[in-house]
Structure 1
Amino acid sequence: MKTSEIDTVIVNGYFELLGNLSLTNKLDLISKLTASVKTDITSKKSMFNKAFGAFDSKKSAEEIIDDIRSSRVFNREIELL
């Protein structure tokens, strides 16, 4: 079975299971599912937007460059010919 077919079977199973709920309970469930989807979309957008923007640091550019250069490790051995 493909993933989409499995998803359809699962959704149909839930639909049959929830078919006996009262109208009020069904509407409440719809409301909660809608809120859940909106929360998921908002959090995904937020995570995406956090990946962009300026680098935030109290150090100056020169201090950051010095830190990077001083943390470099050279372990290369040059053989004499």
Structure 2
Amino acid sequence: MKSAEINTSIIDGYVGLLDNLSASNKLDLISKLTKSIKTDLTKEKTLFSKSFGAFKSDNSAEEIIEDIRSSRVSKSS
């Protein structure tokens, strides 16, 4: 069985179980699933944003540039 077919089979199984729930319980389930999806999306956005963190230093930009330039080593023979 392919992955898509397995997922469809699992979903169909859940739908069969959900048919027996009351309308109120179904709405509650929809609400909880929606909240879960929103939480997952927020986590993904947060992780993505964290991967582009800013460089933090107490030195000014000019001081950092000077440090970089002074640390360069020339390999001329």
TM-score norm. by structure 2 comes to 0.72
Report the equivalent of 1:15. 15
Aligned residues: 65
Give 1:2 deviation, angstroms. 1.1
- State how 1:1-81 maps to structure 2 within 5 Å: 1-58=1-58, 61=64, 62=67
Taking the aligned partners of 1:41 and 1:49, their CA distance within structure 2 comes to 12
Give 1:55 deviation, angstroms. 1.8
Q: Give CA-to-partner distance per residue, 1:13-39, whole Å, 9 cap, x none.
A: 011011100000000000000110011
Taking the aligned partners of 2:36 and 2:43, their CA distance within structure 1 comes to 11
When structure 1 is superposed on structure 2, of 38-47 and 49-58 the one drifting more is: 49-58
SS in 1 for 2:9: helix
Taking the aligned partners of 2:22 and 2:28, their CA distance within structure 1 comes to 10
Choose between structure 1 and 2: higher helix proportion. 2
Amino acid at match of 2:16: E
When structure 1 is superposed on structure 2, of 51-60 and 40-49 the one drifting more is: 51-60
SS in 2 for 1:16: helix
Gaps spanning 5+ residues in structure 2: where? 72-77
* CA RMSD of superposed structures (Å): 2.1
Amino acid at match of 1:41: L
Gaps spanning 5+ residues in structure 1: where? 67-81
